Structure 1
Amino acid sequence: MIKRWFGSLVNRAVALVVVAIVLSALMVTIAGSLLSQGELEQQAEIQVETIARLVAGELDDKLALRLEALNHVAESFTMDETAFSARAKILIRQQIALQHLFDGLYLIGASGQVLAEYPEAFRQTGLDISHRGYFRDVSQRLTPVISEPYAANYEESPTIMIAAPVFDHRQKFIGMIGGAILLKGENFMEEFASIHVGKTGYLSVATRSGVALAHGRTGEVMVPVRVENPVLRDAMEGFEGTRPTRNDSGDKTIMSVQQMAQVPWFVAAEWPAREAFAPITRMADAFVWTLLGVIALFAPLALWRFRRLMAPLQTLGVQINERHLGIRNNPVDVSGGREIRQVAQIFNTVMDERDEVLGSLAEREAFFRSLTQSAPIGIVQTDVLGRIDFVNPAFENLIGRPASELQHTYLIAGVYEPDREVVLAGWKQALKNNEVFRGRFRIPSRGDRELIWGDVMTSVIETQDKALGSITVVRDISRELEVEEALREEQLRAENILGVLQEGVLMVDVQGRIRYANHAACQFLGAEGDCARQNFFDLVVILANEKVLSLTEFLDGENVDSLYATLRNQNGRIFDIDLTMLHIRQGRHNERMVFVIRDDSERRREEQRLSWEATHDSLTQLLNRRAFSASLVKCMGEVSHQSARSVLMLIDLDYFKPVNDEGGHLLGDDLLKRLADLFKDAVRQSDTVARLGGDEFGIILPACGLERAEALAESIRARVEGLRIERDGRSFGVTASIGLTGLTSSDSGPREVMSRADEGSYIAKSRGRNAVVVVPAPPDDPEPAVS
C-alpha cells in the first residue's frame, strides 16, 4: 500500500515538502535547544553556586557568633579552680544568652568531669568526658574549638560541640565551657537542611573527613559521605566550584560546593538537571504540537495543488501510449508547464529519429550481407541465444559445412569440446565487463576429421535498450601457430645460450629501454630479477677516455669493437669492462643496439700488478732504480721552471754487512723495511724515495733548495743512527753516509747528477762514515755549494 502510494509523483512531492518542513523545523529546534540549554545551564550553575555560597557564609557567621560568645563567657570566669567547681551550677544558669544559642551548655573541670549542665534533663553532670576529642583539643591547645560530630551519651544523638578553655587569674587551665548543637535538633542546622534549590533541589553539609552533618533530601546525619560521587570526593580534598554530576538514583544533577572558613566543613547544593532544564522541555512540546498543526493544514493543500500541476503530464502519458500502439499518428500535443511541453517536444523528435534509424538500419543490413559474402575471413551472426542466423562463404569453407546445416545451431557447439568450458567462461567475463571477446581455440573442421586453430573475436550487437545478438569473426591461424612455435623454440635456445654466458648481453631501443637482457647483464646493471623495460642509461654510467658516453653518442656513432671503459651501476658498484656495441636496423624507427659487456677487471688488475712489480722493490715497496731514473729525468726537465733548486740525495748504509752476517738475512730484511718506512715518513708526499740496490737508497727532492735538503739529510742521518733492533739480547743498527747535489739546467743527464751525489756519499765514508756531504754543482751554478 505504501509503495503504491509513493509510486505517484504528486504524493512524492507532497512527502518531500513535508519532510523538508520537518527537517528545517528540527534543525531550528535543535539549534535553539542547544543555545537555550547552554544559557539555562549557565544560569542554573550560577543559581546553585549562589545558594551554596550564601548558605556557607551564613553558616560560618552563625558558628563564628557562637564561638565568639562562648569564648567571651569563658574569659569572664577568672577564678580559682575550687571556686569554679563550687559555683558551676550557678554560673551555667546565669548564661541566658548562651542557652538560646545552644541545645545544651556544660561546664567541665580540668580533669574532664562535667561540673554542671543546662538543661539538666540530659543528666550529664558527673560524667567523665576526658576521652572526647574536643576536650583533648581544648586542654592541649588551650584555644576554642568546634568538634567533629559525635554521638552524645543522651539517646545517642548526633552532636557537635563548641568549647572554649577557662583560666584562673594566673592563666592556669581550670576547665572549659561547651555548647552542644544537636544535628537533629530544632536549630540553625535544621534550618539550613530544609532549604530547597528550586522544587526538588536540596542542600547538604559535611565535614572534609567524610561525615554528613545535614542532608536536605534524606535527613540523614552522622553517615559517611557518598565518595562514589566525584564532586563530593573532590570536595573532601578541598575542591570548591560547580560541576555536573549524578545523584544516588543516577539522575543528572548540577552540584555546587563551597568550603567553610570557620571549620573544615563544606556546603553542597544539588539541583536535578530535569527541573533546571524544564523550560526547554515545555518549549519543545509546544513546538511539536505547533508543527503537527502546520503539517495537518499544509499537506492536503499541497496535495491538491500538485495534482492540478501534474494533470497535463497524465494526458501526455495517454498520448504517448497511443502513439506507441499506432492508434495515434499525429505528434503528441499537450498544454501545461514549460517542462511538460518540452518533454512532448523531445518525444516527437525521438519518434521521428527512430523512423529514420529503422530505415537506415534496413539499408545497412542489406549492405552488411552483401559485404560479408566476399570477405576473406569467416563471419557469423547469431541471435541473443547464441543461435546462428547467418554465415558467409568463407566460414563455410573454414568449417567444411554448408550454411543450411549451420542455420539455427548454437555457435558454442562449433568449439572443440575440451576447449568449450574455457571459451564459455571467457565469453561470460567479456560480456560482464562489456568488452569484445578475443580468444584462440580449436575448431572441428571437415566433419570432425581435423582440427584447426581459430583466432576468434566476438562482439555484442546491441542498442541502448536491448541486445540483438552477436557478430563473430574467425580467422584460421593454424599455420601461424606452427611458425610461432618454431620461432619460440629458436628464441628459447638462444636465451638458454645467452643465459649461461658470463658476458652481459642486452638489447636496447632508440629510447634506451632494455628490450632483452641476460642474467649476467642484469648483474652488471645492479638490478634484481628481470631488468627488461628499464632504461639502460638510467641504470648505469659508462666512462671511457675520461668522458661519459650517452645514448645519443651510441646512436649517432658506428659499431663499437672492444672499448675499454668503466661502468658504474645504480648500486654504486664499479666495473672495468670491455664493451662491444652492434647496430641493428640503424637509422630506422625500430632500430636496436646490442651491447656485450665483459668484465675486464681481472686483466686490468694483472696489468697493474705487473706494472707495479716492474717499478717497485718487492722488499721495501719503494721505487726501484729503473723507476727512480725515470722520475729523475722528469724532475730534471722541470728545473728551469722551478723557483727553488731541486736536490738529489743518495744514502749509502754503513756497517750493513755485519748485520746480515751476524743477525741473519731476515734481520737485515727487517732493518731495510724499517729504514724504508723511516725515509718515507721523513720526506714530503711530492718527494720520490727509491731503493737503488742492496743497502743504497735515493731521494729526489723537487724545488727543495740545498739548505733545506741538507737539514733534512742531517735529520735522516740522525734518525738512522738512532734506529736499533733488539734480537737475542743484542742490539743491531747502521749509520748512513749521505751525498747531496743540486740539479741544474746544464746537467747533461741523470748519470752526471747521480755521479755527483755518489761522490758525496764516498767522501762521507772516507771521513769516517755517518756524515752528510754536499757536492757542488758545476761552476756556472748560481747557488753556492755547502760542504
Structure 2
Amino acid sequence: MLASRFGRTLKFRVALLTVVLGMGSLVLIGWFNFQAARAEIKNERFRYLSDLVERIAADIDQRVAVRQRLLASSVRTLHPTDAALPQMAEGILTSLRPIAPLFDALVVYDRHGIILADEPASAGRRGLDIHDRDYFIETRKSLRPMISVPLRTRNNPKRRIVVFTVPLTDPHGQFVGMVGGSLELLSVGFFRDLESITIGNSGYITVNAVRSRLNIYHPDTSRVFEPLPSAASSPALNRALGGWQGVDETTISTGERMLVAYRPLRQVDWVVGGLLPVGEAYEPIYSLAERYIAFALGMMLVVLLLVSWRLKHILRPLDRLKSNILTLPASGNSVLAGISDYDELQSVADVVARAWSERDTMEAQLARSEAFFRALNEASPLGVFVVDDRGKLNYVNRACKRLFGYENEVEWHGRHWNEAVHPLDHERIRALARSLLADGETLVKTECRLINGQRPFLNVELRLCRLTYEAEPRFLGVVMDVSEQEETRQSLMAERERAMAILESIGDAVVLTSHLDEIEYLNQPAEALLGVRAQDTLGRPLYSFASFSPPENGRPLSIQRLESLVAHPFCEMDMMTKDARVQPVVLTLSVIAAVGSMHGYRVYVLHDDSARREREKAHRWEANHDPLTGLLNRRGYLASLSGLLAGPDRKGRNDAIALIDLDHFKAVNDHAGHGAGDQLLQDVAGIIQSRLRSSDVAARLGGDEFALLLFNCRLDDARALIEAVRGQIEAHVLEVAGVSLSVTASVGMTMLRPDDVVPADPIERADQRCYLAKNAGRNRLVTG
C-alpha cells in the first residue's frame, strides 16, 4: 500500500521522469554504438566466411576437373566395336591404371548398361545392370563425358559415390559402352579433409547437391545424404540452390540464427556453404553491452535519490493548495487567491475557482438538455425505455408503449418490462441482462418476440445499453419492429432452397464464386470433378483447387483472361485439380451483373469432356498411322515432309529422305501366307525404329514400301545409317512352321535441295534411286 501511494505522488513521478530521460539518453547512445560495432563485426565475419568458402569451392572444382579431364583423355583414342568390347574391357582398365589412384573404382559398361569389368574387383559388381541410372542414360544420349548426381551403389547401399563417365564409340561414332570412375564422397582425397577445417568454435562447412537436393557433406554424418530442408526453414540455402551466391544472416532448419556464405561449383551442380552461429560471431559485443547496462542501472539509482531529495522542498506549496481547496465550499473562491508564488500552482488554483463558479450554470443546462431529449424520445418512431437493475420500468416513450401494448394503460411505471416479451424468449433476455451486470458489457443486441395483442407476436430488434454515468445501475433499451423484414428474409430463404435443389439436380458441375473468386457454393458433381468436399472449399479461392489452361499450350489463365476467352457459350479447357490431375472440360462462365451484393459473382459450369477428347485423339492417330506397324502412313509422312520443306530454318542444314522397297516379299505371302507377311512387315518396322534417332521419321507408304526422313543428317552419316538398316533387314530370319523366311531391301536415298518446295520432288528422286537399286541386282543402296 505504501509503495502504491508513493508511486502516485508528483515528486516520485518527476523524479522518475528525470531518470527515464537520462536512461533513455544512455540507452540511445549505447544502442547506436552497439549497432555500429555489431555491423563492423558482422562485415568482418562475412569477409572471413566468403574467402574461406571461395577457397574450398575452388579446391573441389579443381579436383573434379582434374579427374574428369584425365579420364576423358585416357580413353579418347579407344574406338572398340560393340562385339569386341567384352574382350577389350580388361585391357581398357589396364590402360587406365596410371589414373586409378584418383578414383576408388574404375568400371567398363557395355551399350546396355551391364558392367563388364571393374578394378579393384568387387563382389557382385560385374554383371550389374545400371541401364536406368541417369548418368548412363545422359552419357549414351549426349556422347559426352558426364558427372553423376550423388547416389548410393546398388551392390552396397551404404556407399555414397559420384561417377565420372566417358562414352566409348565405334569407328562410326555409334555408342558401344562407357568407362566410369567412381569416387566415394567421404574418401580421404575428396571431402574427408574438410573435417579439419573449423570456423570459430562451432561453425562448419557443408556441401549440397542442387539437382538431387541432398546433403552430401556435413560434420554430422547422420545428416549426410539426407534431403535438404524446405525453403521456409532454410531460405538462404534454398536461394543458393537456385543460383544465388553470397553471404547472409539467416535462420537454418534447426531454428538457430547463423551467418552463412554460399558459393556454387563450376564443374558440378553442388553448392559449398560455410556457417557460423550468430551468438559466437557477436560474443565480444554482447559482453561489452552487459557491462554498459550495469553502469547505466547504477547511474539511474543515484539520479533517482538526488532528484527525490530536491523535489521534496520544491513541491511544498502543493500541500497548502490541497488544504485551501477542501475549504472552498464554505469560504468561497477568495481562499484560492495568492496561494503560491509559483505561476503553475496559481494557474491551477484559478482554474478550480472558475470551475466551481461554472457548476451551477452547467446544472441548469443539463436540466434543459434532459427536457429536450425526453421530447425527442416521445417523437421518435423507435421504442425507447429505461429500467433499473431489477428490470422495473422507469420510463417508456410513446412508440415503446405501442410495441409493448401499453397504449391504453396508465399504470406502467414499476412493471417488469419482461412481461411484454414472449415466454419462449424470457431466459435468453435474462442472460443478456446478466452479462451487462456481471461481464462489464456496455451494449448487447438481439432479436426477440413481443406480445402486444395485435397479432400472435411482433418480431423486434432489441438493444440494451448500460447507463454508466448513473450512481445506481440503470439500463436503456431501444426496440425496432422488424416483422416485415423477417417475413421477407423467410421468403428469400425458401427461394434459395429451391435454387439449391435445382442446382443439385443438374448433371454438370456448378461452382459459384464471389467477386473475389472465393467459392460460395458447389454441387455434388463439382465435388466429384474437383476431388474435394464442399465444406473444405467454402470461402477459399477457386485457384486453390483448380486452374484452367487452353489444351493447345497448357499455360494457366488468369480470371480476367479466362473471362475474355470464354465469351462464347462453350470453351474447351484443361483443368488442373489440386491433386495434379488434368481433367478435360467444356467450360461455361457467366458473370452476374445484377445490382446488389451479388454483382460480379461468377458461375462456372463444367462438363466432363474426357470421352470426346479421347475419341478425337484416337481418330487423329488412326488418320496418320499405319495400323499394322504403328509407323506413320503416307498421309502422316507427307505432312512431316511438307512441314520440313516449309520450315524457316532449312538453310545450312542437311536433311535426307530414303525409300525402302522389300525384295521378294510377294514370295513370302505366296508361300507362307499373309499372316507371315504381316509379321515380317512388323519385324522390318521394328528394325527401322531401332536404328533411327528420336528426331527422325519412319513411315510405311503401303504394301512392302517404307520411307525415312532423316533430319539434320550429313550424306555420309545418312548412308551409314541406311546401310545398317539394310544389313539388319538382310540378316533377319523369320521362322514360321519350320520354314525360314527372309527378305532383302533395295533403297533409294536423296538429300533435300534448296529448290525442293513440295514433297513430290524429293520423293520422285528417291523413287528413281530405288528403281536403279532394283535394276542393279537388288539388296543395295543407291544415293544421289
TM-score by length of 1: 0.52
The Cα of 1:446 is off from its aligned counterpart by: 0.9
Distance 2:6 2:317 in 1: 9
Distance 2:8 2:566 in 1: 80
Distance 1:348 1:466 in 2: 26
Find out whether 1:418 has 2:427 as its counterpart.
no
Describe the shift of the 1:575–1:707 C-alpha distance in structure 2 as closer, same or farther (beyond 3 A). same
Counterpart among 434, 441, 446 of residue 439 in structure 1: 446
Describe the shift of the 1:468–1:425 C-alpha distance in structure 2 as closer, same or farther (beyond 3 A). closer
Aligned-partner SS, 2:386: strand
Q: Counterpart in 2 of 1:565?
A: 573
- Matched letter for residue 383 of structure 1: D
- Matched letter for residue 746 of structure 2: S
Describe the shift of the 1:472–1:629 C-alpha distance in structure 2 as closer, same or farther (beyond 3 A). same
Unaligned runs of 5+ in 1: 17-303, 775-784
Aligned-partner SS, 1:445: coil
The Cα of 1:773 is off from its aligned counterpart by: 3.0
Distance 2:749 2:3 in 1: 120
Aligned-partner SS, 1:579: strand
Contact 1:383 1:389 in 2 (8 A): yes
Q: How many residues are paired up?
A: 481
Counterpart among 599, 603, 613 of residue 594 in structure 1: 603
Rg larger in structure: 1
Distance 2:341 2:417 in 1: 53
Distance 1:765 1:557 in 2: 58
Structure 1 residues 321-470: aligned runs within 5 Å? 323=329, 330=333, 333=336, 348=353, 351=356, 355-402=360-407, 404-430=410-436, 432-446=439-453, 450-463=456-469, 466=471, 469-470=474-475
The Cα of 1:421 is off from its aligned counterpart by: 0.7
- Matched letter for residue 446 of structure 1: G
Structure 1 residues 355-754: aligned runs within 5 Å? 355-402=360-407, 404-430=410-436, 432-446=439-453, 450-463=456-469, 466=471, 469-499=474-504, 501=506, 503-518=508-523, 529-536=535-542, 541-544=547-550, 549-553=557-561, 559-569=567-577, 572-585=580-593, 590-637=599-646, 641-643=650-652, 646-656=655-665, 668-702=677-711, 704=713, 706-725=715-734, 731-744=740-753, 750-751=759-760, 753-754=762-763
Aligned-partner SS, 1:717: helix
Distance 1:12 1:629 in 2: 100
Describe the shift of the 1:496–1:737 C-alpha distance in structure 2 as closer, same or farther (beyond 3 A). same
Aligned-partner SS, 1:598: strand
Aligned-partner SS, 1:577: strand
Distance 1:384 1:351 in 2: 33
TM-score by length of 2: 0.52
Q: Over residues 44-67 of structure 1, what are the superposed CA-to-partner deviations in whole Å (9 max), with x where a residue is unaligned?
A: xxxxxxxxxxxxxxxxxxxxxxxx
The Cα of 1:497 is off from its aligned counterpart by: 3.4
Contact 2:517 2:601 in 1 (8 A): no
Describe the shift of the 1:574–1:558 C-alpha distance in structure 2 as closer, same or farther (beyond 3 A). closer
Structure 1 residues 243-392: aligned runs within 5 Å? 312=320, 315=323, 318-319=326-327, 323=329, 330=333, 333=336, 348=353, 351=356, 355-392=360-397
- Matched letter for residue 421 of structure 1: E
Q: Over residues 597-638 of structure 1, what are the superposed CA-to-partner deviations in whole Å (9 max), with x where a residue is unaligned?
A: 334343223212211121112232211122122333344446
The Cα of 1:499 is off from its aligned counterpart by: 4.2
Distance 2:313 2:638 in 1: 119
Describe the shift of the 1:405–1:615 C-alpha distance in structure 2 as closer, same or farther (beyond 3 A). farther
Percent of residue pairs identical: 30
Contact 1:689 1:698 in 2 (8 A): yes
Describe the shift of the 1:456–1:599 C-alpha distance in structure 2 as closer, same or farther (beyond 3 A). same
The Cα of 1:360 is off from its aligned counterpart by: 3.3
Describe the shift of the 1:436–1:658 C-alpha distance in structure 2 as closer, same or farther (beyond 3 A). farther
Distance 2:641 2:376 in 1: 94
Contact 1:537 1:550 in 2 (8 A): no
Describe the shift of the 1:501–1:466 C-alpha distance in structure 2 as closer, same or farther (beyond 3 A). farther
Describe the shift of the 1:382–1:748 C-alpha distance in structure 2 as closer, same or farther (beyond 3 A). closer
Distance 1:331 1:599 in 2: 95
The Cα of 1:445 is off from its aligned counterpart by: 1.6
Describe the shift of the 1:556–1:607 C-alpha distance in structure 2 as closer, same or farther (beyond 3 A). closer
Aligned-partner SS, 1:534: coil
The Cα of 1:766 is off from its aligned counterpart by: 4.6
The Cα of 1:314 is off from its aligned counterpart by: 7.2
- Say what the alpha-carbon RMSD is for the aligned residues: 4.6
Aligned-partner SS, 1:471: strand
- Matched letter for residue 434 of structure 2: K
Q: Over residues 630-653 of structure 1, what are the superposed CA-to-partner deviations in whole Å (9 max), with x where a residue is unaligned?
A: 333344446994445643312222
The Cα of 1:426 is off from its aligned counterpart by: 2.8
- Matched letter for residue 699 of structure 1: L
Task: State which drifts further: 631-640 or 450-459.
Answer: 631-640
Distance 1:676 1:351 in 2: 114
Contact 2:566 2:587 in 1 (8 A): no
The Cα of 1:514 is off from its aligned counterpart by: 4.2
The Cα of 1:437 is off from its aligned counterpart by: 1.1
